[in-house]
Each structure stands twice: as structure tokens, then as C-alpha cells.
Chains A and B, each alone.
Chain A
Amino acid sequence: MNLLALDTSTEVCSCALYVSGEASSQHEIAPRQHAELILPMINNLLAEASLSPKQLDGIAFGKGPGSFTGLRIACGVVQGIAFGLDRPIIPISSLATLAQLAYIEFEWPHVAAAIDARMQEVYWGCYALDENHLMQLQEREQVCKPQAAMLPFSATWAGIGSGWQTYHEILSTTVGNMPIQQEKYPLASAMLPLAIDAFEKGQIVAPENALPTYLRNNVVQV
């Protein structure tokens, strides 16, 4: 199985490649430069692995939540690639990717992932590790005031993501003190295990049905 994964939902532009059991990845912190960076990154990864685009079986992307424009860059790029190659798309939550990253880097089994949503809100999702070492969503993801963030059950939780940087004090007051890693972003390398699992389970969509998950849908100021 050969999968490509990419995420541009935050300041970080990242992509990863899984070729028959071997993973490689690239990322760069580069706000507002994702359009310039993403295709060259993908092209490089494939070249280094001596893989032609046609040998890909599926393409995963960070569907959000996150920066609206960033979500659409990743979504547009994977739509174009998947349609052009006639391959399916695997949409993966950027909060799930953050939680998986927390497990990979810190071995945290219970993770509250938070991305700064601006306008005094956070994108919030709580994840717990399953028996396959994959992070699974508990309850639901939401966009909310940090004062309204909740943990689904009591456990030893840890926090990750830019939401913890912007709203550290409020979140700590709301859900309690916990170890946190605030300068962490959803990386395509961390998305790979989730994408492989989703692909094997058939959790795929046709290219034109791959769309961003914005969570914030009230976007018109009248």
C-alpha cells in the first residue's frame, strides 16, 4: 500500500509518504506560503522514494478544523491529485492528527487537542488511545469558547496544540492543570497511521466528495 498524506490546516505545511511500510515526511513552518510549498514538497517526497504518482493507492488530507484558507488549499490539492490519478481520498481530522502526534512523541494516552480558532474560540477535541495505538475521538469535536471546553471523562489528560498557547490560563481553569505541549501542529507524518487504518477500513471518499470540516459555519457578518 502506498499513501500520500498532507496537512495545511495551520501555520505548518506538511506532507508524508508511506511506501510499502516505509514512511518519509517533510514539513515547514511557513504561514501563508502553503500554496507555494505543498506541491514541490509532494514531488520531492515521491522522487526521493522513486515512486511515480500513479503508484499511489490513496491520498489523505487534514480536513480540519483549522485555517479556512489552509483547509481549502489541502483539499483542492488532494481533489486535483486524486481526480487526476483516479484514486480515493482519506479525510482525517487535524485534531485527531494532533492527538496522534501527542501519543507518538509523548506517549500520552488521553489528549485534549486544541487549535486556536481566533475570535476568542478554540477548535476542541478529546482523544483516547485504542488497543491498536490509534487515537479515537471521544464525544465530538467542536468550536467553542475556551471557558466552555470540557473533558469527556476523568483520566490523566494532557493538552496539545496552539489553542493551549493562546488560552492557556482559561483552559487550565476550565478543565484543570495538565501537561501541555503548545507549540505543536498537525503533521502529516502523524496522520499516516490514522490514514492507513482508515484506508484499510474503507473510510474513503471520491475526490469530489472530499471537503473541509470547518466546524465554524456562522461566517457572515451582516
Chain B
Amino acid sequence: MRVLGIETSCDETGVAIYDSAQNSVTHLLHSQIELHAKYGGVVPELASRDHIQKLLPLIKNLLVDNGLTPREIGGIAYTAGPGLVGALLVGSAIGRSLAWAWQVPAIGVHHMEGHLLAPMLEPFPPSFPFVALLVSGGHTQLVQVDTIGKYTMLGESIDDAAGEAFDKVAKLLGLGYPGGPAISKLAQQGNPDRFIFPRPMTQRPGLDFSFSGLKTYVLNTWKTHVQDEQTRADIAYAFEEAAIDTLMIKCRRALKQTQLKCLVIAGGVSANQRLRQHLTQLANELHVEVYYPRPEFCTDNGAMIAYAGYVRLKAGQSEALNFSVHPRWNMSLLS
């Protein structure tokens, strides 16, 4: 079965076709990064306007590139949440109505389920159960995954997502958008010994995160020092280290608490090199296996939606004609 996947929950327009017979996936992506860069963050209305212009041409190209006719598509999956309501509606409206016209089943997919199943598209996928750390511009979550559809939220950010913190810190340091790559690059020039920033919420038990206070700490440090290039780099270093160390501390706790031996990392921040270095150390130390999606499937993409949609369609699930989107959607409520 071939499933067309559509992702429009935020600032990437992604389309893909997952072919279960080959366990292969082909995808196309249009990124809106440049559109939002000058505003230092995603402008929801501009995102929606861009999605409706770009999505159908992408689907068309994807079919043409792969020499596929509509008859060869057995189902359509689209991100139904969580995300920006207007952006979600574009993908859902086009995906659901196209499925109606083609007379194939359709399914609204949970964006974070897409992320945590993305490593299943790799040659050596993780096996259930595992702990997943989902880190992106919109989410920071630790999830216990017993099997597909059985998710227990272990902890999540009570304020800013980790990726959001990178973006905000980059903005206040006058760096580019998105903030993650900009901060990582600058941090390489940073002096590791000059600043040590706090690791929020690590002194008390629990697996929740908070990054808002860390951002404020960065702002105060920046304001009270000479604002030269070296200070900028030193702050970038200390911030990145604090953010990643915080994620590591919680991952370690989650693995100990669940007694699980497998860790999956997904979401845009999982492309961060320093995070991966720390994780390798953690894996060696705790004797656990760590799995990542390939870099292009760490960030938002249609492939993970096509795959998650295939899994759910195969299980007999589908969405009726009265489609709806869920800007906020608790993953533990899935089944």
C-alpha cells in the first residue's frame, strides 16, 4: 500500500509517499524559514498563506517525480494537530478532499506521533518499548512508548519548548533565525569556563522542563556585560550547554525510572551535534541504545506523517468526511 503524507502544522510544507511493500519513502519539502526569518519567529497567518500556495504543486511534483498515478495511492494522511490551526486546516482540507475525490481512506495524524515513529523509516529501527525525547521549536516532551498508539507522557515543558528557547536567545543576541544552528555555530568560538548557566528544574524530582527562566538568565547576562563578539560566543556556549545538559539529566532520569534500554530522539533539536555527542556518552554509560531519524526527518517532514498514517490506516482507522484539526492534542489520548 502507498500512502500520501501531508505535513503543514507549522512552517514546513512536507509531502511524501510511503510504500509499505518496499518499506521505502520518498519526500519533498518546502521550508518557510526565509519567509519568517525577518520576524524572528513563525508568523501564523503568513505560514497558512504560504502552505495553500505550495502544497498542491508539491503533491503534483511528488507524483510526477515518482511516475505514480492517483490509482497507485491507497490512502492519504495529513497532520491534524498539534500545531497552528490555520496551517493544519490547509493540509487537512486538501488531504481530506483529495481522498474523497480519489475514493481512498484518509487519516488525520498526530504530529508528535509522526516524529516519534520517524526512526522506524531507518534500516535499523528501534523496537518497542522505548523512551522518546521529542525536542523541537514547538515541543519538549519525554514519552514512554509501549507500542504504537500507547503513549505515556513522562514529562514536558511547562513554558517554552527547547527549540523556542534557542530561537529566542538567538534573537536577543542578534543572531539569525532559526536560532539552533546559529547558536551552535557561534558556541564553537565560546570560552567554556566564562559562564555557567543554571539547569532549570533539575534540582527537584520529576521529568518536566522549563526553559523560560534560562532565557531570562541569558538576557540579564547579556545586559550586564560588554556586548562584544567574544561575550556573545561565550553566552551562546553556556546557553547551549545548559539547555542540552538539562535535556540529558531528564533523559537519564526517564531511563532509570522506566527501566527501559532504548531511547529515541526526534524533532528539530535532535539535529544538534552537541546533543548527539552528549547522548552517545549517556548511552555508553547506561548501556542503552539511542536511535535518531536521518537528519532530514528530524525536522518536520511529510515522510513521518505518511508512515504514521500508514500504520493507522492498516489498523483500520480512518477519518470521516467531517474532518477537524486539533491545535492542542494530548498524545496520551491516542489509542
Contacts and interface: CB of A to CB of B under 8 A. Distances in A.
Interface of A: 35-37, 39-40, 42-43, 53, 68-69, 72-73, 75-81, 83-85, 207-208, 211-212, 214, 219-220, 222
7 contacts: A39-B323, A53-B101, A68-B45, A72-B86, A84-B70, A84-B97, A220-B46
B86 A68 contact: yes
Nearest to A52: B103
A220 B47 CA distance: 11
Contacts of B45: 68, 219-220
A178 to B, nearest CB: 34
Contacts of A81: 97-98, 100-101
B244 interface: no
Contact of B100 (A36, A84, A219, A222): A84
Given A39-B322, A80-B100, A83-B98, A72 B70 contact: no
B243 interface: no
B92 interface: yes
B52 A211 contact: yes
B251 interface: no
B324 interface: yes
Interface string B89-130: 111111111111110000000000000000000000000000
Contact of B93 (A37, A80, A84, A222): A80
Contacts of A83: 56, 59-60, 98, 101
A73 B91 CA distance: 10
A184 to B, nearest CB: 25
B53 interface: yes
A121 to B, nearest CB: 16
B20 to A, nearest CB: 22
Nearest to B320: A40
Interface in B14-72: 39, 43, 45-46, 48-49, 52-53, 55-57, 59-60, 70
Interface of A is mostly: helix
Given A42-B100, A76-B94, A84-B97, 19 more contacts: A35-B92, A35-B93, A39-B321, A40-B320, A43-B100, A43-B321, A68-B49, A72-B48, A73-B89, A73-B93, A76-B91, A77-B94, A79-B55, A79-B93, A83-B98, A83-B101, A208-B57, A219-B43, A220-B45
Given A39-B321, A220-B46, A79 B39 contact: no
Contacts of B48: 68-69, 72
A84 B96 CA distance: 11
Contacts of B325: 35
Nearest to A76: B93
A17 B107 CA distance: 27
Listed residue (B93, B99, B321) with the most chain A CB atoms within 10 angstroms of its CB: B93
Contact of A220 (B39, B56, B60, B324): B39
Nearest to B325: A35
Contacts of B187: none
Contacts of B94: 76-77, 79-80
Contacts of B49: 68, 214, 219
B85 interface: yes
B74 to A, nearest CB: 14
Nearest to B63: A83
B323 A80 contact: no
The 7 closest A-B pairs by CB, nearest first: A84-B101, A76-B93, A80-B97, A80-B98, A39-B321, A36-B322, A208-B56
* A75, A76, A208 interface centre (most CB from chain B within 10 Å): A76
